[in-house]
Structure 1
Amino acid sequence: MMSSTPILLVGGSGIVGRWAARFLRAAHPSVPLLIGGRDLVKAEQAAAEAGEAQGVALDLAADDLGLGERPVSAVAVLFTDERTAALRFAQARGVPHLSISPGINEMAPEVAAYIHRPQAAPVVLGTEWLVGATTVPTLEFAKAFGRVHDITIGALLDEQDAFGPAAEADLERQTKTMPAALARRNGRYVWRAGDEAKATFRAVDGTEMAAVAFSPYDVVGLANATGAPNVQFHLALGVSSTRRRGEPLSTEILIELTGEDPAGRPLRTRHAVVHPAGQMPLTGLGVAMVLERLLGLDGKPSTPAGLYFPYQLLDPTAYLARLAQIGGKVSTLP
């Protein structure tokens, strides 16, 4: 399917929005985009960079977001929409909605909006770590197991990585103002706070990093997808392995699985997902590919109404191929 109705990127003039627009434009040169934001000048600048795009000023206090009757084919929200205005707008128009900012204990407004209008449109709860860069590879690695007992994710953000204002606000809110992080332990969901939330993990180069418990949707998504009774996610902010050896910064995701192979023998694997340009290209890629799947831009039927996590929409083979294409690397670690 190739639509002449534009995709609306709310907050599209930010770093993630620019990456998402770049990847959408590269894969689908003629798909029109609306780059929406509070600052019309910035939105128009980002639209000019993307091509086949128009910048628009949005009003999240208005039912129509300030767009009047202008049609859109999908809505992606790239910052925290505390009013859920864009979701209600998308449901009213019957078009897909993706958001990537609300934390796991902020999901109620979006879930409630979906429950009240479940047939209106597909709604994607997109706050997985880097929108699929963690979940999709983890589920691929899990295929080697007959049973997964433990999933431990370590995400390393380089302290010099690019943070737009929205991303910085999200990280600040989710790591400091949310007092606890969700994990699964012996089949039970528990909240980790205080000393319980402190952790360490080894970076790609083996350096031990001080980390804190964090709970993007990966925790509940991977627990349900694999049945693993123990799932935890740790976040570290520091120096990435590449920068420690004198190269440019990178972002790292460390994925450790333990359990049994199909024959019942003990099995442990450890992998890394790394991108040399940091976190934002991976996030932008996930946004672009989820939008492609929602609208059927990948040549398959568009996604029906429903409530989804990104990994449920992303084809692993296609995702991993695009990841490699944009410079991401997946490696096996000892």
Structure 2
Amino acid sequence: MNTDQLMHDPDGPVLLVGGYGTVGTEFARAAHGRWPLLLAGRSPGKAADLCREVSAEARRWDLADPEPFRAAVRAVVSLVNDPDDRVLRASLAAGVPYVDVTRWTARVQRAALLVSVGSPTAPALLSSGWMGGVVPLVAAVLAGRVGGAESVDTAIRYDLADRSGADSVEFMDRLGVDFEVLQDGRDTVVSPLSGARTLDIGPDRTKVVRIDTPEQFTLPLTLGARTVTTRLGFSSASTTSALVALGRTGFFRRARGEFWRPLRRRILHSPGEGGTATVRIEVRGPGGALTATVTDARGQSHMTAVGGLLGLRRVLGDDGAPAPGAGLALPEAHPLPETVLSALAAEGVVVDIVPSPAASSLRAAA
């Protein structure tokens, strides 16, 4: 029987589970100086240099090991896969504010149910929309400016030169599984890697294809959008085409399970020296249509960490608005969405917003 035990200490450290991984390191650096930090993971010895840099302590918490973990903390940020919901359950039981940036759609749905059927006494922010919730946050800003969101279309340019942790390519494990989205107000089943389109994402022309991401589940519920699509493409068009071709062979449907996991990950997980993360988000509503280009020159890991940092500030009420009440919270439900742009800019994430053309090439292909 698991006996993990967290206690809520409003003056204690912020617990970063996976706090010295690729995204965790970026998060720890961004949070340094704001709150005391406690880093947790399987091999805390690997965090020694980072702990000195950010004045943090590191402790062992292996989520695959039944050895219990105990700590008194101000808040918890989960930056690593939590397949059995150990971190979430411990946070809920202790009434500790919680932020999660690593779940794919099915696990967001499971976590939402877990929070809803319990008796939470603190907010639990599921910020696993693309890039730690940056996509749904910016979508909410655009929706506010056009009087609501009838459709939200996102296109992601994945820079193959960028640094990435193993968990950042978890979506590879979903490429053999059809997923459900809302299309013109109707539930529609979509195959991953389908619906290829080529469009401008920032300065680059990029081929993009459909993938399963949590905001396609949450935005119809929170913003009332009748159509939500997310596509992803790589900085190398040939890589995108090769992935699509591999998908057409049925590889991802056949190569599921733990045996094939290393191969699936190896296809994408190549820790580079660094690249630029760029995302295009278009929202159409009663008052027109706007397109935002979101760019982080420090890469996807940094942008994800920034999304998580904004989530932590939200659950602590540290962003100019009162903290959300106890229970389920989502990033796009921010009470002051216009403040998001300056908060992103302060962390080096640039958002450029322009009117959309009369007919979006991405929207027409949905």
TM-score tier (shorter): 0.7 to 0.9
The answer on whether the counterparts of 2:276 and 2:296 sit within 8 Å (CA) in structure 1 is yes
For residues 278 and 179 of structure 2, what CA distance do their matches in structure 1 show? 20
Partner of 1:223: 220
Q: Secondary structure at the match of 1:143?
A: helix
For residues 188 and 239 of structure 1, what CA distance do their matches in structure 2 show? 34
The answer on whether the counterparts of 1:252 and 1:273 sit within 8 Å (CA) in structure 2 is yes
Superposition deviation, residue 299 in structure 1: 6.3
Corresponding letter in the other structure for 1:46: L
For residues 224 and 39 of structure 1, what CA distance do their matches in structure 2 show? 39
Q: Deviations over 1:237-258 (max 9, x none)?
A: 2259xxxxxxx83111112233
Gaps (5+ residues) in structure 2?
1-8, 238-273, 358-366
Q: Deviations over 1:36-57 (max 9, x none)?
A: 0000211333322212x10001
Partner of 1:251: 277
Change (3 A) 1:314 1:160: farther
Partner of 2:62: 59
Question: Structure 1 length as normaliser, TM-score?
Answer: 0.83
For residues 66 and 82 of structure 1, what CA distance do their matches in structure 2 show? 16
Partner of 1:264: none
Partner of 2:27: 20
Corresponding letter in the other structure for 2:337: P
Q: Secondary structure at the match of 2:164?
A: coil
Partner of 1:243: none
Superposition deviation, residue 71 in structure 1: 0.8
The answer on whether the counterparts of 1:79 and 1:167 sit within 8 Å (CA) in structure 2 is no
The answer on whether the counterparts of 2:108 and 2:128 sit within 8 Å (CA) in structure 1 is no
Partner of 2:144: 143
Q: Deviations over 1:133-190 (max 9, x none)?
A: 212222222233245433211011101111012223x13223x24x124322110122
Q: Deviations over 1:244-275 (max 9, x none)?
A: xxxx83111112233442xxxxx333221111
Structure 1 vs Structure 2 CA RMSD: 2.6
Partner of 1:203: 201
For residues 131 and 335 of structure 2, what CA distance do their matches in structure 1 show? 13
Query: How high is the sequence identity, in percent, across the aligned residues?
Result: 25
Q: Secondary structure at the match of 1:91?
A: helix
Corresponding letter in the other structure for 2:36: P
Partner of 1:103: 104
Q: Deviations over 1:285-325 (max 9, x none)?
A: 12122112212344654432111112224743432112212
Partner of 1:323: 344
Q: Secondary structure at the match of 1:190?
A: strand
Superposition deviation, residue 276 in structure 1: 1.0
Aligned residue pairs total: 311
Q: Does the alignment pair 1:9 with 2:30? A: no
Query: Matches of residues 112-261 of structure 1 in structure 2 within 5 Å?
Result: 112-146=113-147, 148-168=149-169, 170-174=170-174, 176-177=175-176, 179-193=177-191, 196-205=194-203, 207=205, 209-239=206-236, 249-261=275-287
For residues 214 and 40 of structure 1, what CA distance do their matches in structure 2 show? 34
Q: Does the alignment pair 1:49 with 2:53? A: yes
Q: Secondary structure at the match of 1:48?
A: helix
Gaps (5+ residues) in structure 1?
241-247, 262-266
Partner of 1:81: 82
Q: Does the alignment pair 1:272 with 2:293? A: yes
The answer on whether the counterparts of 1:183 and 1:233 sit within 8 Å (CA) in structure 2 is no
Change (3 A) 1:203 1:314: same
For residues 98 and 10 of structure 1, what CA distance do their matches in structure 2 show? 10
Q: Secondary structure at the match of 1:83?
A: coil
Superposition deviation, residue 61 in structure 1: 5.3
Change (3 A) 1:302 1:328: closer
Q: Secondary structure at the match of 2:344?
A: helix
Q: Deviations over 1:194-246 (max 9, x none)?
A: 67454443222251x22221232222332233323221111112259xxxxxx
Corresponding letter in the other structure for 1:254: R
The answer on whether the counterparts of 1:219 and 1:232 sit within 8 Å (CA) in structure 2 is yes
Partner of 2:262: none
Corresponding letter in the other structure for 1:202: D
Q: Does the alignment pair 1:37 with 2:41? A: yes
Question: Structure 2 length as normaliser, TM-score?
Answer: 0.76
Change (3 A) 1:90 1:194: closer
Q: Secondary structure at the match of 1:56?
A: strand
Q: Does the alignment pair 1:295 with 2:316? A: yes
For residues 221 and 160 of structure 1, what CA distance do their matches in structure 2 show? 30
2:307 to 286, 292, 299: 286
